[in-house]
Structure 1
Amino acid sequence: MGKHAVVTGAASGIGADCCRDLFERGYTVFGLDRDEQKLNQVEETAKGTSGKFIPIVCDTSSSASVAQAFEHIRAATSAVDVLVCSAGVFRTGALMELSESDYDALFDINTKGCWLTAKAAHPLLRRAATPDAPARVVFVASAAAFRPKTGGGAYAASKVALTYITRVLAVELANQSILVNAVAPATVDTPLVHQLVADAATSGYQVSGVSPLGRVAQPSDVTSVIRFLLGDDSRYMTGTIIPIDGGSVAAVLSK
């Protein structure tokens, strides 16, 4: 029957790269995102591969939108092997100056959206999971959870919350053969980061520079670690948060 995956934030950046990796390896991928046009572009790249990409317009911060998306998914399959939650937003600003709407957006999308999606996917993950072939959940957190800085405090807090959800959910689902882990990238060459750089003159927020390895991460650097977390070599890993930062956090701690 083949394997099935759900990826949020599927239209660009890490999410789109993860989708490509999955459908090139034969997965049927349900890609959730608010941007229908970019979802359709990802669908075009799936043509001629061994897998399939099914775009679904979804706002993961909305329980109604997530429920509707999973109605489509349940109509197509009775089980899901993989859930990758990559949808995320960044809002800059000092904590005492940040608007309530920006604060809410960070937690609604970066934290609650992952919880809503995992909750909706849970019955399908349980049907796919066996002790010998566990189902997998991977959340995309951030190195900001370990290295918060001024101007991005609320974003960091939303990602810290996500790392705690990862750990607790891993324990709660362990006896159901569902493994839950997270990756925590530092600066990644994505459209979101490009926009932060473009806005720096007016926002005042400075994106972290290159890592000790001499560059920022590419989406593929993150996808390769996600691939590991979805594979047989990580069958005894759950509740882990893996930094993908080129040594950036270590460099800050060593100063």
Structure 2
Amino acid sequence: MSDYFDLSGKVAVVTGASSGLGADAAVAYAQAGADVALLARRIEKLNEVKAVIEKLGRKVIAVGCDVTNEESVKAAIQTVLDTFGHIDIVLNDAGIAQGGGVEDLSEEAWDRSFDTNVKGIYLTSKYVIPQMKERGYGKIVNIASVNAVIADKEETFTRHAYNASKSAVLGLTKGMACTYAKYGITVNAIGPALFESEMTAGTLFKSEQFLTGYNHLNPTGRPGKKGELNGTILYLSSDASSYVQGQFIIVDGGGALV
């Protein structure tokens, strides 16, 4: 069974790889045997993750990339292909959590949420899928959110653009899954709940009121811990999920149970 999760000889691309869940996943890919391409805007942070992966003996590159800009994405993917020759896995992790309700959100903030959380997946997939189709193999994993299907109940943390954009990720995932299944490409999504990361450390984790309420309502009684998302990511990125297509796996300690 361990062979199902062996990523030796695979090349994984991770967007949003400079910190948080993306950085953790990139290291997990390397530990499973994959070579890794790290994509994000902050090259200095990428180089920190790169150094960790190099110590594992895997080939790794750090590529500056703005997933909201088509030319940037196109150039980044070409750099990966020039370096490794092919791409087997893409983890679309780049995302932002813009706070505010529709009455308060500026149009710019709304657009920024959709550009990063949805357009970023579209652009990355656009330039990766052609060579996956050519090779008859590919694993695309999109990071959505449990908030794609449930809303934030605490008014202080209203995030309508986040809710809407992450729901859009699910629609895009299903559409891509249907279209590209015949080419040997699986497309699935993951819905994390609260995990400590650079994005949440300065917001949700700073609110004792929010954390108390979250822990009380979550059957597990706590947020997700570092590394607890990696098992699901590796499952959807490996041949263990060869017949899993267009699915949305929530990783939330049971918080969304009804």
| TM-score for the superposition, normalised by structure 1 | 0.90
CA deviation vs aligned residue, 1:65-102 (integer Å, no higher than 9, x gap): 10111221121133211010000001111211111111
Q: How does 1:151-166 map to 2 (within 5 A)?
A: 151-166=158-173
Secondary structure, aligned partner of 2:140 = strand
For 1:112, which of 119, 127, 134 is the aligned residue? 119
1:92 touches 1:152 (CA, 8 Å); kept in 2? Answer: yes
Secondary structure, aligned partner of 2:232 = helix
Determine the C-alpha separation between the residues in 2 that align with 1:238 and 1:108.
Answer: 25
For 1:23, which of 11, 30, 41 is the aligned residue? 30
CA deviation vs aligned residue, 1:166-210 (integer Å, no higher than 9, x gap): 011000001100000000001111111112237769xxx957723
CA deviation vs aligned residue, 1:21-56 (integer Å, no higher than 9, x gap): 111222111110011111010011012313122100
Q: How does 1:44-193 map to 2 (within 5 A)?
A: 44-129=51-136, 134-149=137-152, 150=155, 151-193=158-200
Q: How does 1:227-238 map to 2 (within 5 A)?
A: 227-238=234-245
Is 1:242 matched with 2:232?
no
- More deviation, 182-191/44-53: 44-53
Determine the C-alpha separation between the residues in 1 that align with 2:51 and 2:84.
Answer: 22
1:26 touches 1:52 (CA, 8 Å); kept in 2? Answer: no
For 1:209, which of 200, 206, 214 is the aligned residue? 214
Counterpart in 1 of 2:43?
Answer: 36
Secondary structure, aligned partner of 1:173 = helix
Secondary structure, aligned partner of 1:71 = helix
Distance 1:232 1:75, change over 3 A: closer
Determine the C-alpha separation between the residues in 1 that align with 2:122 and 2:185.
Answer: 15
> 1:153: Cα distance to partner?
1.3
Gaps of 5+ in 2: 1-7
2:196 touches 2:205 (CA, 8 Å); kept in 1? Answer: no
Gaps of 5+ in 1: none
**Paired AA for residue 15 in structure 2:** T
Secondary structure, aligned partner of 1:209 = helix
1:80 touches 1:128 (CA, 8 Å); kept in 2? Answer: no
Determine the C-alpha separation between the residues in 1 that align with 2:203 and 2:70.
Answer: 28
Counterpart in 1 of 2:227?
Answer: 220
Determine the C-alpha separation between the residues in 2 that align with 1:114 and 1:19.
Answer: 17
Determine the C-alpha separation between the residues in 2 that align with 1:37 and 1:24.
Answer: 22
> 1:231: Cα distance to partner?
2.1
**What CA RMSD, in Å, does the superposition of the two structures yield over aligned residues?**
1.9
Determine the C-alpha separation between the residues in 1 that align with 2:44 and 2:163.
Answer: 29
**Paired AA for residue 209 in structure 1:** Y
> 1:2: Cα distance to partner?
2.0
- More deviation, 189-198/19-28: 189-198
Determine the C-alpha separation between the residues in 1 that align with 2:14 and 2:135.
Answer: 16
Determine the C-alpha separation between the residues in 1 that align with 2:100 and 2:87.
Answer: 38
Counterpart in 1 of 2:4?
Answer: none
| TM-score for the superposition, normalised by structure 2 | 0.89
Determine the C-alpha separation between the residues in 2 that align with 1:221 and 1:125.
Answer: 28
1:46 touches 1:53 (CA, 8 Å); kept in 2? Answer: yes
Give the count of matched residue pairs.
244
> 1:241: Cα distance to partner?
0.3
Determine the C-alpha separation between the residues in 2 that align with 1:220 and 1:156.
Answer: 24
Secondary structure, aligned partner of 1:98 = coil
